[in-house]
Amino acid sequence: MEYRVLGHTGLKVSSFVLGTGTFGYWGNNTQKDCAPILDEALAGGINLIDTADVYSNGQAEEILGELLKGRRQDVILATKGGMPMGGGQNQSGNSKFWIKQAVENSLRRLQTDYIDLYQLHQPDLNTDIEETLDILADLVREGKIRYIGTSNFQAWQVAEAQWTSERRNVARFVSEQSPYSILNRSIEFDLLAATAKYGIGVLVWSPLSGGLLTGKYRYGEAVSADSRAATFAGSLQSIVDPNREENRSKFEAIAKLQTLADEAGLTLPHLAMAFTQAHSSITSAIVGARTIGQLRETLKGNDIRLSNDILDAIDAIVPPGVTLDAMEKGWTPGWLQADKRRILR
């Protein structure tokens, strides 16, 4: 396993991160089912574990809290907050009111005194970044958080947050978590330039494009009954919908990528994961696995590095900065909503 420094923190993190979105009823419902996956990840050299309060409505954090007893000090534990966690008007967002509660709730579920990396799950357009940084800085001073990060931020929001931290002389964000894969290269357009400018580490999620780059899905064919696309409602079920033109484009690209992987003597998933390791601004890629077999297979490719010729061939299939399907961007900015961009008369 390769270890890289997270931004300018000096903190060394594994180039693969264990994502726990499948811990709990979203995937593996019991602690017994999740334990082998965590054990395999740690044995494979992964030292950064990523979770979120919203994963299985807190169950993922609770399971991790139990599984990390006696070895909490051996891992870098990251969680996220800000997504809705109840029906209350103030049980979401990045306000002082909610972030304070969300952090305390995560600490309780994780059974720990501190969170190594606390990340805002997404921007909150109703809350000034100064408000959020104030409470995060307080929590850092209290020792409840060691580092702070963001997720799904746009390049201008990254810059605004850095300027605010400098002006207010408070803790600054040291990481950004964004979706990134061969099929979704939108962060190359300007976000990665911004994170490089400010020395921010980048953790990327969905490097296998929601499972498309495993090669197990076929355009227009019914998905396997035990696949995530079959068990999750919403966008995951749309990835093989033959009525979506975006899917046709993606599967045409996947066929070309499969040929490229075959010629290079690689599996398609290994090619896809190695692609995320090639960009100089990427620190780590988050691996989500429902089974120990899936994780083992992914970890086999952790030391693969692609040649410039292969990277050029990938660029010819999906050019830099291009995303073949807007749905894969993971978060739709609130300013694209009709009531935000139209003046009704």
Express each pLDDT in 13-47 by its tens digit. 999 999 999 999 999 989 999 999 999 999 999 99
What was the pLDDT predicted at 85? 95
Which is more confidently placed, 312 or 214? 312
Which runs of consecutive H residues, i.e. helices, occur in the chain? 31-43, 59-67, 96-110, 129-141, 155-168, 191-197, 228-231, 245-264, 268-278, 292-299, 308-317, 338-341
Q: What is the pTM of this model?
A: 0.92
Residue 120 has pLDDT above 70, yes or no: yes
Whether residue 78 contacts residue 67, with contact meaning beta carbons closer than 8 Å, is answered with no
Whether residue 325 contacts residue 183, with contact meaning beta carbons closer than 8 Å, is answered with yes
Q: What is the per-residue pLDDT across 196-252, written as a single tens digit (0 to 9) for each?
A: 999 999 999 999 998 899 988 777 666 665 555 555 545 556 766 767 888 889 999
Q: Distance between CA 201 and CA 205 in Å, rounded? A: 13
- On the 0-12 / 13-18 / 19+ scale of CB atoms within 10 A, 176 is buried
What was the pLDDT predicted at 246? 84
Q: What is the per-residue pLDDT across 51-78, written as a single tens digit (0 to 9) for each?
A: 999 999 999 999 999 999 999 999 999 9
What was the pLDDT predicted at 335? 82
> Rg of the chain over CA atoms, in angstroms?
20
What was the pLDDT predicted at 344? 53
Q: Distance between CA 306 and CA 310 in Å, rounded? A: 6
Q: Distance between CA 104 and CA 108 in Å, rounded? A: 6
Catalytic residues: 55
Which is more confidently placed, 100 or 225? 100
What's at 51, amino acid-wise?
T
What was the pLDDT predicted at 222? 62
